[in-house]
Amino acid sequence: MKKLIFLLIPAIILSCIVLLTGSTSNLYLLNWGEYIDPSLITEFEAEYNTTVIMEEVGSSEDMYQKIKSDITPYDIAIPGDYMVERMYEEDMLYKIDLTSLANYSSDMFNDDLTNLRKNGFFTDNEEYCIPYFWGAYGLLYTTRKSYVEEVVKTNNWDAILNRDVYGTNKNDVKLAMYSVPRFGTTAYLLDNNKDVNTNKVSDFAGLVTTMKATNYDLWGDDTIKKQIAAGNIDVGLTQLGDFFDQYYLSTSSNEEVQFSYYIPEKTSAFFDAMVIPKTSKNQDLAYDFIDFMLDTDNSFQNTTYVGYSPTLKSVVNKLKEDTEYTDLISNYPFYIDPLQGKDATLFRYIDEMDDGTNYQDFLQGLINQVKA
Amino acid sequence: MKKNKITVSSILKGLFIAVVIFILYLPIIIIFVLSIDSSRTGNTFTGVTFEWYKEIFTNKSLYMSIITSFAVALSATVISAFLGTFAAIGIHALDKKAREKVILLNNIPVLNAEIVTGISVMIICSFLIPIIPDFFGYWTLLIAHVFFTMPYVILSVIPKLNELDPNLYDATTDLGVRPFKALWKIVIPSIDTGIVSGSLLAFTLSIDDFVISYFTSGNGVTNFSNWIYVRLGRRNFTPAAYAFNSLLTIVILLIVLVPQFKKNKSKKNTRSL
Amino acid sequence: MKKFKYLSIPYIVWLFILVVIPLLAMVVLSFMDSDALDLSTAKFSLENWKSLFNTVYLNAFWNSFKIAGISTIVCILIGYPLSYIISTSHLKNKFALIMVLILPMWSNQLLRIIAWEKIFYPISIINNIGLSFDLIGTDFAVIFATVTMYLPFMILPTYTVLEKMDKSYVEASYDLGVSRTRTFFKITLPMSSKGIMSGIIMVFLPASTGFAITERLGGGKIVMIGNIIENFFKRSFNYNMGSMLSLVVIMVIMGAIVLLSKFDKEGETII
C-alpha cells in the first residue's frame, strides 16, 4: 500500500501537466486524421493569437456523434457531403453569413463541383458549408501485375465486382472492398446503372449474391490503400484522395510507386466541407478560420500537403503554373480535374429504405450477409 | 541446499519457456525494428535511423497523448487501489446475500463489451454538462478509467480478505487499538498481495485502453491509444509511436531485470565467502 | 470487521449510477424503436428481440465464441503448464520471469496488432529476412494473435494461485506414495482451479467482445458480435439493436459463469 502512495507523486505531476495545458482563446476544430497541414495550424494560431484544439476522427459518422453528444464546443467541423445534409436537416448547423467572409466569392470553386452542388445537393447548401477538398470514387490498382491495368480500364466497376473479367488470372488477383457499407454498396449500384442515392430495396436485389461470389481478399478502410501500395492487394475501391495520399507517402519514404488510379465512366463524387456546428461558442474565430482556409496561398499549401483535390480555382491555377507539379498533373490529370467530364452524382443523406428500415442498418445488413 | 540438476526434463521446460517468451515478444521485436526503420510506411527496411526517437519529444500531439495516458493510468490505479480496497473491506463485511448481489453488480463492467461501458459512462457524464460545461476531457477520462478498473481491484482483494483470520482483527481491537488503525496496520498489510495484483491489473488495462477512452474524452484531450487509432492509415501516423513503445519496453525490462542480476551477483559473493 | 459494512455504501451508490441505470436504460432501449437516445419519437417494439435469430447475428455469435473459445483453450494449455513449471521450479528469479512474461501487455495493443499484420501479410518488412506468410483473413491468424495478446492474462492468475498454494498437501501425497501424475490431477489441479477460472474470464471476455483483432487480422472478413455491436453504436446509431445484442452477450456470459461456478464451491471467483 505504501508503494502505491509513492505512485501518487508522478500521477499528480502528470495530471497537472494535462490540466494546465489550456488557454483562454480556443478554436475547437473537428477534422479527419491527416487532413490539414500542421504548420497551417501554427500559422493560424500566430495570426489570430489563439490556440487550435483539434480532435481527429476517422469517419463522418464519428463527427456526427461527437457533435450531437454536445460534449466539446466545436467551432468548425469538416464532415463529408451527406453528413452535412444530415446535420442541416437535424438543425445542427449555423447559417454562414457569406458576406462576412472576406475571401469568399460565389464562383471561386471548381465549376464541376459548383454544378453538382446546385443541381444535385440540398437547396441553400451554399450558406451552410464551404468546400474543403473534393474528389471522386474509383479504383486504386497495382502496377506490379501487368494484366491488372487493362482489365480495370476496360471493365470499370465490374473489375471490383466480378472476378471472371480477369480471365485466367481470376484466382490470382487480390480484390479489396471498402467496409463502410455506403461505399461498399455503391460499386454495385453504379455497375447496374442504379441511382447511388436510391432507397428502393429492390435495387439491391442481386447485391449479396454478386458480392459473395467475388470473395474479397480484404475488407477495410485505410488498409486498402496501404496494402495496395505494399503489394498485398491488387485492386480496391477508394477515394481519389487516397491515391495521392499514398503517393506522397510512398515517395517520401523513397519507395517506388507501384500503383495507379482509374475513375470509371460513371461514378460518385464527394466533397468535404467546413461547417459551423451549433456547439460553437466562438463564431467570430470560426469565420476567421474559414477565411484563412479560403486564402489561395494557405489553401495551396494545404492541398500539396494533404493530397486531396483542391476545390478552389485559384489553387488549381497555381498548381498548373508551378513547375514542381507539372509532371504530377500530366501523369495524373484527375488531380486538378477529378471528374474530367465523367458522369457523377453526390451522395445525399438517406434516412430510410422504402420499406421503413433504417438505411444504414439495411446496408450494413447486406454487407454482413456478404461476409457471412 | 539442493543442487540444481540439469536433466532432460529441465532442458525441455526451459525450451518451452523460451519459445513462449519468443512468441510473446515477436510483435515487440517488430515494433522495435519499425522504430529504427527510416521508411515511414514500414513496408520495407530502407535504413537505420533514430529520428523517430527524437520526434517523440518534438511532436506535441504525440507526447501530450502519452503524458495523458500515463497521467490517467497512474491516477486511476492509485485511486482504484485505495477506494477499491476500502470498498472491498466494506463488501466483505456485508451479509452473504447482500454481498453476492453487490459482487454481481461489480462484475458487470468486467463482463460488458468495452464499447457498452464507454457509451454508458459517456451518457451518464453528459448529464452533468449543463452544470459543468467543460466537464469532458481529463476528468471524465479519469472517472471512466477508475470505473472500469476498480472492479478488478475489488475482485483481487476479496479472496485475500476471505483467507484472513477474523480473529486477528478482533484481537487487535480487544487490545485497545482503534478500528481504523487496526485496519491500516494489520488488515491491509495482510491483504497486500491482493492489492498489488489488483493494481497491476488496473494499470495494465488502463494504459492500453482505447475504446472506453474514445467515448469519455473530449475538448482535445486524447490518450496514446486513441492517438494511434485515429492515425492508423494516415500519413501523420509516425513511427515515433513505435519508438516510444520500444523505449518504454526497454526501460521496464531494465527495471525488472537489473535488480535480478544484482541479486544474483551478491548471492554468489556471499556463497564464496 | 462487521462494522465496516458502511464502507461499501459509497461504492454501491457509484455502481448504481454507473451500472444499474445504464443497464436498465439498455433494457428499455432494447424494447423500443427510437432515434438514438431521442425518446420523444420512440415507440415500443419487439422487432429487435425478434431479429436476434437472424443468421447474420447467429453467425457472428458463433464466430465470436468459436474464436474466443479456441483462444481460451490454447491459453490454458500453454499458460497453465507454464505457470506450473515456473512455480514448482527452484529458480531464484521467479517473479522477475513472470514480469517479463507480463511486460508485452504494456505495449500498446494497436501497435502489436500492426506488428502481427506485418508478419501475416505476404509482402512486408519481414521479407527482408526471407520470411513470408499469407495468413491474413484466416481463423488461424486471428486465433494466434488473440492468444499472444491475452496469454499473460492467463499466466498471471494461475501463477498467483499456484505460488500461494499450500505445498504441504502435495508433499503429503508424495509421502503416501501417490504418483506425481495422480497427485497433480487429484490435488494440484483442483486446488488451482480458481486461477484457471479467473484466467478463462480474463481471456474469453475481451476476446469474444473485441473487434480490433478481427478487423485488422481477419481482413475484415470475419464478423464477430463485437463488430456488429460496434456498427450499431457507431455507424447507424441504432442504440436499440446495440443494447439488445449487448444484453444477450452479458446474459450468455453470466450464464456460463454461473455454470462454471458450480465447480467452485467457494464462490466470488474472478481473480
Interface predicted TM-score (ipTM): 0.86
Question: Which has the minimum average pLDDT: A229-233, C3-7, C212-216, C230-234?
Answer: C3-7
For residue C207, pLDDT over 80 is answered with yes
Helix (H, G, I), strand (E, B) or coil at B14: helix
In angstroms, what separates the C-alpha of A218 from chain C's closest C-alpha?
Answer: 5
Q: Which residues contact B71 (CB under 8 A, 6 or more apart)?
A: A11, A14, A15, A17, A18, B138
- Shared-domain flag, residues A52 and A88: yes
SS3 sequence of chain A = CHHHHHHHHHHHHHHHHHHHCCCCCEEEEEEECCCCCHHHHHHHHHHHCCEEEEEEECCHHHHHHHHHCCCCCCCEECCEHHHHHHHHHCCCECCCCHHHCCCCCCCCECHHHHHHHHHHCCCCHHHCCEEEEEEEEEEEEECCCHHHHHHHHHHCCHHHHCHHHHHHHCCCCCEEEECCHHHHHHHHHHHCCCCCCCCCHHHHCCHHHHHHHHCCCEEECHHHHHHHHHCCCCEEEEEHHHHHHHHHHHHHCCCCCCEEEECCCEEEEEEEEEECECCCCCHHHHHHHHHHHHCHHHHHHHHHHHCCEECEHHHHHHHHHCHHHHHHHHHCHHHCCCCCCCEEEECCCCCECCCCCEHHHHHHHHHHHHHC
Question: Best residue in B221, B223, B229 to probe A by mutation, most A CBs within 10 Å?
Answer: B221
In terms of DSSP bridges, do strands A218-220 and A175-178 run parallel, antiparallel, or are they unpaired? parallel
Q: What's B176's DSSP letter? A: T
Q: What would the mean pLDDT of C150-169 be, rounded to a whole number? A: 87
- Shared-domain flag, residues A139 and A175: yes
What are the strands of the beta sheet with A51-57, ordered from one edge?
Answer: A51-57, A26-32, A76-77
Closest CA to A173 of A200, A142, A201: A142
* Cβ within 8 Å, pair C124-A364: no
* Cβ within 8 Å, pair C220-A219: yes
Helix (H, G, I), strand (E, B) or coil at C240: helix
Q: Look at residue A1 and tell me if it is in a domain.
A: no
For residue C265, pLDDT over 60 is answered with no
In terms of DSSP bridges, do strands A130-142 and A266-274 run parallel, antiparallel, or are they unpaired? antiparallel
Q: d(Cα A29, Cα A45) in Å, to the nearest integer?
A: 12
Q: Does C55 touch chain A (CB under 8 A)?
A: yes
Shortest CA distance from C237: residue in chain A: A65
The CATH code of the domain that includes A238 is: 3.40.190.10
Q: What's C41's DSSP letter? A: E
Closest CA to C25 of C247, C228, C181, C187: C247
Strand partners, A346: A269
In terms of DSSP bridges, do strands A235-239 and A26-32 run parallel, antiparallel, or are they unpaired? unpaired
Helix (H, G, I), strand (E, B) or coil at C42: strand
- Shared-domain flag, residues A238 and A179: yes
In terms of DSSP bridges, do strands A175-178 and A235-239 run parallel, antiparallel, or are they unpaired? parallel
Q: Does B11 touch chain C (CB under 8 A)?
A: no
- Shared-domain flag, residues A252 and A277: no
- Shared-domain flag, residues A120 and A154: no
| Alpha helices (H) in C33-179, listed in sequence order | 47-50, 55-88, 94-102, 109-120, 139-164, 167-175
- Could you tell me if residue A341 is left (phi over 0), alpha (psi between -120 and 50 degrees) or otherwise beta? left
Closest CA to B114 of C226, C37, C271: C226
Q: d(Cα A131, Cα B220) in Å, to the nearest integer?
A: 24
* Cβ within 8 Å, pair A55-B68: no
Other beta carbons within 10 angstroms of residue A292's beta carbon come to 16
- Shared-domain flag, residues A148 and A260: yes
pTM, rounded to two decimals: 0.88
Buried b (16+ CB within 10 A) or exposed e, A119-135: eebbeebbebbbbbbbb
Q: How many H-runs (helices) and E-runs (strands) does chain B carry?
A: 13, 0
Alpha carbon distances (Å) from B123 to A234, A268, B137 = 43, 36, 14
For residue C142, pLDDT over 50 is answered with yes
Q: Which residue has the higher pLDDT, A303 or C211?
A: A303
The pLDDT assigned to C270 comes to 45
The pLDDT assigned to B269 comes to 57
Q: Look at residue A9 and tell me if it is in a domain.
A: no
Closest CA to B210 of B143, B111, B144: B144
Q: Give partners of A (≥3 CB pairs < 8 A).
A: B, C
Q: Identify residues of A whose CB sits under 8 angstroms from chain C CBs.
A: 59, 61-62, 64-65, 68, 179-181, 216-220, 223, 227, 230-232, 358, 360-361, 364-365, 368-369, 371-372
Over residues B46-62, the pLDDT tens digits come to: 888 888 898 888 888 88
The pLDDT assigned to C187 comes to 83
Q: d(Cα C199, Cα B88) in Å, to the nearest integer?
A: 21
CATH topology for C54-261? MetI-like fold (1.10.3720)
The pLDDT assigned to C137 comes to 84
- Shared-domain flag, residues A185 and A265: yes
Q: Look at residue A239 and tell me if it is in a domain.
A: yes
The pLDDT assigned to B273 comes to 42
Q: Look at residue A12 and tell me if it is in a domain.
A: no
The pLDDT assigned to C267 comes to 47
Closest CA to A267 of A332, A212, A193: A193
What domains can you pick out in chain B, each with its CATH number?
A: 64-223 (1.10.3720.10)
Considering CB atoms only, which of B123, B155, B208 is closest to C22? B123
Q: What's B178's DSSP letter? A: -
For residue C271, pLDDT over 50 is answered with no
Q: Which residues of C touch A258 (CB under 8 A)?
A: none
The answer to whether residues A71 and B144 touch, using CB atoms and an 8 Å cutoff, is: no
The pLDDT assigned to A16 comes to 83
Q: Which residues of C touch A364 (CB under 8 A)?
A: 231, 235-236
* Cβ within 8 Å, pair B24-C22: no
- Shared-domain flag, residues A290 and A367: no
Residues within 8 A of A (CB atoms), C 210-229 only: 215-216, 219-223, 228
Closest CA to C150 of C222, C69, C81: C69
- Shared-domain flag, residues A304 and A222: no
Q: Low-confidence residues of chain B, pLDDT below 50? A: 1, 272-273
Question: Best residue in B45, B66, B75 to probe A by mutation, most A CBs within 10 Å?
Answer: B75
The answer to whether residues C264 and B159 touch, using CB atoms and an 8 Å cutoff, is: no
- Could you tell me if residue A216 is left (phi over 0), alpha (psi between -120 and 50 degrees) or otherwise beta? beta
Other beta carbons within 10 angstroms of residue A92's beta carbon come to 19
* Cβ within 8 Å, pair C100-B256: yes
Considering CB atoms only, which of C22, C37, C151 is closest to B124? C22
The pLDDT assigned to B139 comes to 87
Other beta carbons within 10 angstroms of residue C13's beta carbon come to 10
- Which pairs with CB-CB distance under 8 Å and at least 24 residues apart come from A299-304? A301/A37, A301/A39, A301/A40, A302/A36, A302/A37, A302/A40, A303/A133
Q: Look at residue A341 and tell me if it is in a domain.
A: no
- Shared-domain flag, residues A218 and A365: yes
Q: What amino acid occupies position A118?
A: K
The pLDDT assigned to B185 comes to 80
Shortest CA distance from B60: residue in chain A: A38
- Shared-domain flag, residues A160 and A233: yes
Q: Look at residue A340 and tell me if it is in a domain.
A: no
Alpha carbon distances (Å) from A251 to A149, B41, B231, C127, C231 = 21, 10, 19, 20, 35
Q: What's C54's DSSP letter? A: -
Domain coverage including residue A158: 135-269+356-371
pLDDT, tens digit only, all 372 positions of chain A: 666 677 788 888 888 888 777 666 789 999 987 788 889 999 999 999 898 988 888 888 889 999 988 888 999 999 999 999 999 999 999 999 999 999 999 899 999 999 999 998 999 899 999 999 999 999 999 999 999 999 999 999 999 999 999 999 989 999 999 888 888 899 999 999 999 999 999 999 999 999 999 999 999 888 899 899 999 999 999 999 889 988 988 888 888 899 999 999 899 999 999 999 999 999 999 999 999 999 999 999 999 888 899 999 999 999 999 988 888 899 999 999 999 888 899 999 998 999 888 898 999 999 999 988
Element containing residue C260 per DSSP (H, E): helix C239-261
Considering CB atoms only, which of A4, A7, A230 is closest to B43? A230
Shortest CA distance from A68: residue in chain B: B126
Shortest CA distance from B72: residue in chain A: A15
Strand partners, A237: A139
Strand partners, A82: none
- Shared-domain flag, residues A164 and A300: no
The pLDDT assigned to C268 comes to 47
Alpha carbon distances (Å) from A343 to A33, A331, A370, B210, B215 = 29, 22, 28, 41, 40
Q: What is the CA radius of gyration of chain C?
A: 23
Q: Look at residue A17 and tell me if it is in a domain.
A: no
The three cell numbers locating residue B152: 478488478
Element containing residue B29 per DSSP (H, E): helix B8-35
Q: How many domains does chain A have?
A: 2
Q: Look at residue A57 and tell me if it is in a domain.
A: yes
Considering CB atoms only, which of C1, C81, C268 is closest to B103? C268
Q: What would the mean pLDDT of C6-26 be, rounded to a whole number? A: 90
* Cβ within 8 Å, pair C18-B17: no
Q: What's C176's DSSP letter? A: T
